[in-house]
A = this chain, B = another copy of it.
């Protein structure tokens, strides 16, 4: 069978000394000048975010093990953006990266089966390239086991993975995730994810389940408690950079042995050319700024974990 997703991810993290991934979330308003267009056509708009995404992937591919491509930023361009989304997954694979498709789908079992077909299953069609299928997806598990089970079956059979939302980075999500007394809703979700990930054939050679969790760093105490609660759960950590968390805050998402998580940064890397210090350093070469920010991110995380 194909190698376990977390084993593949850990090997890539270690090869690049970078427990981080870069989030591809391009918005038209912030693209470098070379992607400017005056055409008010949806195809032209989708093309330019794709071209930008492609360049970002090329710039960070030697530096990080994985990219996380956020579906929303492509769905804004309807089927044209969705086509670009899949082409970017293929492109990242060609560059040797692992790909997490940030789709956050979540629906009842009979519907989740179809979402899993579109977003994690090997293609059932002769004319669809297998490379367009990501290595892992993000999911919402709020609709219960049925929402994630079809994805787990595929992950088990194909060496892929999933990350279920447990503690989102947006402070507005506290209103739902801190619900409950004394046990909080996010702790309940963490329990469910641990349970879903404990099934036969789901744990890899390195001791982690292919069912991971999305856990943003909040206060170190509660983050560490969450980390300790589920030692086999690999964490995808949002919130770095533009969303306010630093490397030190992210440290609590890793186990004491320095593994167990991957930190994502999106805006702070892909728009690094907006930073005065970097644009001064790299001049008009926006790709150099992006690469610099990715290298910096990897070094910062490696440092606090050392």
Contacts and interface: CB of A to CB of B under 8 A. Distances in A.
Interface of A: 25, 27, 40-43, 45, 70, 72-73, 75-83, 86, 104-112, 114-115, 117-119, 123-128, 132, 140-147, 165, 168-170, 172-176, 179-180, 185, 188-189, 192
B118 A77 contact: yes
Q: Which 7 A-B pairs have the closest CB atoms?
A: A144-B172, A108-B170, A75-B118, A79-B83, A42-B125, A72-B114, A76-B117
Q: Is the interface of A mostly helix, strand, loop or mixed?
A: helix
A27 B124 CA distance: 14
Given A179-B180, A179-B188, A143 B170 contact: yes
Given A72-B107, A72-B112, 9 more contacts: A41-B127, A72-B111, A75-B114, A78-B132, A81-B118, A82-B82, A109-B170, A144-B175, A147-B173
29 contacts: A27-B114, A40-B125, A42-B123, A72-B105, A72-B107, A72-B115, A75-B115, A76-B115, A78-B82, A78-B86, A78-B118, A78-B132, A79-B86, A81-B118, A109-B172, A140-B140, A141-B176, A142-B142, A144-B173, A144-B175, A144-B176, A145-B172, A145-B175, A146-B172, A147-B170, A179-B179, A179-B180, A179-B185, A185-B185
Nearest to A171: B144
A69 to B, nearest CB: 12
A123 B105 CA distance: 23
Nearest to A118: B75
